[in-house]
Chains A and B, each alone.
Chain A
């Protein structure tokens, strides 16, 4: 069965500092991996996705993620956080059918 673990429930980071959100997945085959962001009152917005190829994936808003098969991880990073990055972040794993399994989410708070 496919599943995702996001070990960090809540992360607080200073504006301008770097951010890394952890994601570990369990999947029987080559996974499709996603990071979504949800701001309060908003839907889920795709930040980036990995299907195959280059293991370092660039996304929107300056985010990137690295797929590490040996560690079953797909961690999300941003070099310099802006106050507008405060939101909840979800990692998801799935197949070509887009039946996705989501992690529990990590809430990011940005302090001035």
Chain B
């Protein structure tokens, strides 16, 4: 069964460092998303991406965040200068055209020290 894959599964970084989280969405999917879950809190929407541009973003997704689809398969989330409060599980998701299912990856845990 096709699945969304995310790397790394866990990353530890120092405050102020840049981090790139990678995702490989399901191959025929057209819509891509990043969500995050801070420990003990709700899963929160960050950004959606379609046709090589951001279609919607939350207030969390400030100038420190960016997304990119550098080639035909990867979808990345970059945090330019990490803060302690960026520590969270980051989930990538993708879905096909139409009202299909949103498929989530297993998440990348980011720990900022």
Please give the residue numbers on chain A whose beta carbons come within 8 Å of chain B beta carbons, in ascending order: 32, 34, 36, 41-46, 49, 51, 90, 92, 96-105
Partner of A49, one of B44, B91, B101, B103: B101
B55 at the interface (CB under 8 A from A): yes
B105 at the interface (CB under 8 A from A): yes
Do A96 and B99 contact each other (CB < 8 Å), given the known contacts A44-B91, A90-B43, A103-B42? yes
For B105, the chain A residues whose CB sits under 8 A away are 43
Do A97 and B44 contact each other (CB < 8 Å), given the known contacts A42-B106, A49-B101? no
For A102, the chain B residues whose CB sits under 8 A away are 42-44
Min Cβ gap B8→A in Å is 14
Tell me the residues in window 91-113 of chain B with beta carbons closer than 8 Å to chain A beta carbons: 91, 93, 95, 99, 101-107
Min Cβ gap B7→A in Å is 13
Q: Does A46 contact B102, Cβ atoms closer than 8 Å?
A: yes
For A34, the chain B residues whose CB sits under 8 A away are 102
Q: Does B106 contact A41, Cβ atoms closer than 8 Å?
A: yes
> DSSP class of B's interface residues: helix, strand, loop or mixed?
strand
Q: Give the docked Cα–Cα distance between A90 and B91 (Å).
A: 14
For B95, the chain A residues whose CB sits under 8 A away are 98
Min Cβ gap B22→A in Å is 15
Partner of B102, one of A41, A42, A98: A98
Question: Which 9 interchain pairs have the tightest Cβ spacing?
Answer: A44-B104, A102-B43, A43-B106, A43-B104, A99-B45, A102-B42, A46-B101, A43-B105, A104-B42
Q: Beyond A43-B105, A99-B56, list 4 extra A-B contacts (CB 8 Å).
A: A42-B106, A43-B91, A102-B44, A103-B42
Q: Give the docked Cα–Cα distance between A41 and B6 (Å).
A: 13
Min Cβ gap A3→B in Å is 9
Partner of B48, one of A41, A45, A92, A99: A99
Partner of B99, one of A45, A51, A90: A51
B19 at the interface (CB under 8 A from A): no
